[in-house]
Structure 1
């Protein structure tokens, strides 16, 4: 089932076996324990074939991938695969899996230059889809992003081209099965649910803060295994520590990120804040703040950096202990910067240990796009540092 598309005769035989098992034996009628519509979902074969197609995409250098790409995908991407003359039954089977990937895969935005706004699946909804429009234009996602002074969504462009509904991972057999078992008309008519992943992330974030601040649960296995600090601790000799935080306005969805870099003597090297644009969840806001903090570390030429903040969910995601599709595109940029910085680590500290960055995010100048200071901090920040 994982390599070839089963024939109609084979699937009918499997159906007969299921019917005899659940509804009767030896041609005798029995009590119908399970409704036929509950088990008559013949798409698991397609989900397994999609895993083989995903293997071609995720492991392009293995012999299996090289063979099929040389024979059927010359100069094309996997999702562009089509039927051809004299094709093998194996390739014909894989095409069924590719169709599943087309329904369930979406682009990670990145710079957005190769993603078509109204034709490619890039919106983080379930199932993924392009933006809705009545316009006939060849717009790319990069046209919705501004790079001055740093990269973020352009609110004017979003309002001009995207409707309100549109503004608001790795393949597994389970995910492919969920997509494949629905008819195309269901996928089209099903209302998008873009807030589900964000809501789950926000709940986990809230629980994380609750557990880290509550004395009654401070000795739980989750907390003890993570070794969270309850207050700010100086980095070791030769290292710098960058604390950061995000101020997220639930009414306007605006994000402001802040960071502060200190050495082993508690001396602040650099601190600043920036308006980061729009976000649809607190987790995305925290991730945006981490990205701008890392960008400033890179600009400043610093190395041997410890990035520390009070979002346990994000720390575990960065350290590959958790996965979250809602921040995958930002994580790609974070990983790229991480590879450029030498000896970079990401640690978790309880809320009390991140007070400096927290205060900068909420009390820094709100009318500036960007502020960065290498001199002594302002009077309103000094007490927190001391």
Structure 2
């Protein structure tokens, strides 16, 4: 018998064909797509005599406020200073991130660190701050400040990192919700987040 013009198998071959089809089906069940490996990023120390400055921001929508967190560390991972700052929520996230960059640069110069690497998750904002057309944007006045501050550094660079490598600054930014408008710690961080410093420098 033919069905839909497809040739049929002889009866004595049906069992063998069924066994082959079943084997193929079971083998396909055992194939599982490989899960992408999760790459855990850790904080990386700077070169000797250079300081790494991590910064981040957080939004507190219920109170219409925002937080900025900054931590400065040396090549050994030792904290030189850290801060949290609570500010009124700016008109845009772009302005908030620009203010975080400026605050990080200010505290670094206040401590006399003239060789610094700044790390944050605001790659586009950094490009806008130091680009040729920065004075035309909504962060033009902040860009002017940042470019002026750069003259105090012997070397100064910016790099983009994910939150995994920026955990201390991110936690400090969120902590600003329950802090004074400005809190600064010399050669330390708040005790309740000190464990993150240890995790950062542990391979």
TM over 0.5: yes
Structure number with greater Rg is 2
**Structure 2 counterparts to residues 179-194 of structure 1, below 5 A:** none
Distance of aligned partners of 1:266 and 1:385 in 2 relative to their CA distance in 1, 3 Å threshold: same
> How far does the alpha carbon of each residue in 1:284-308 deviate from its partner, in whole angstroms, 9 at most, with x for none?
1111111112111121111101111
Please say if 1:337 is aligned against 2:170: no
Please say if 1:242 is aligned against 2:50: no
2:184 aligned partner: 372
Distance of aligned partners of 1:322 and 1:234 in 2 relative to their CA distance in 1, 3 Å threshold: farther
1:362 aligned partner: 174
Tell me, in whole angstroms, the C-alpha distance in 2 between the residues paired with 1:369 and 1:314: 24
Q: Any idea what SS the aligned residue of 2:192 has?
A: coil
Tell me, in whole angstroms, the C-alpha distance in 2 between the residues paired with 1:295 and 1:332: 13
Unpaired runs of 5+ residues, structure 2, are 1-35, 199-203
2:86–2:177 CA contact under 8 A, matched in 1: no
1:253–1:280 CA contact under 8 A, matched in 2: no
> How far does the alpha carbon of each residue in 1:345-375 deviate from its partner, in whole angstroms, 9 at most, with x for none?
1111112111110001112462412111114
Count of residues in correspondence between the two structures: 161
Please say if 1:317 is aligned against 2:125: no
**Post-superposition offset of 1:237:** 1.1
2:84–2:175 CA contact under 8 A, matched in 1: no
**Post-superposition offset of 1:231:** 3.2
RMSD (Å) for aligned C-alpha atoms: 2.5
Tell me, in whole angstroms, the C-alpha distance in 1 between the residues paired with 2:65 and 2:188: 28
**Post-superposition offset of 1:242:** 0.5
Q: Any idea what SS the aligned residue of 1:380 has?
A: helix
**Structure 2 counterparts to residues 1-386 of structure 1, below 5 A:** 230-320=41-131, 325-364=137-176, 366-386=178-198
Unpaired runs of 5+ residues, structure 1, are 1-214, 219-228
Distance of aligned partners of 1:337 and 1:257 in 2 relative to their CA distance in 1, 3 Å threshold: same
> How far does the alpha carbon of each residue in 1:214-261 deviate from its partner, in whole angstroms, 9 at most, with x for none?
x79x9xxxxxxxxxx943211011100010111122344322211000
TM-score by length of 2: 0.71
Tell me, in whole angstroms, the C-alpha distance in 1 between the residues paired with 2:129 and 2:138: 13
**Post-superposition offset of 1:319:** 4.4
2:30 aligned partner: none
TM-score by length of 1: 0.39
Tell me, in whole angstroms, the C-alpha distance in 1 between the residues paired with 2:151 and 2:182: 25
Tell me, in whole angstroms, the C-alpha distance in 2 between the residues paired with 1:315 and 1:322: 12
Distance of aligned partners of 1:358 and 1:314 in 2 relative to their CA distance in 1, 3 Å threshold: same
Relative to its length, the structure with more strand (as a share) is 2
2:45–2:77 CA contact under 8 A, matched in 1: yes
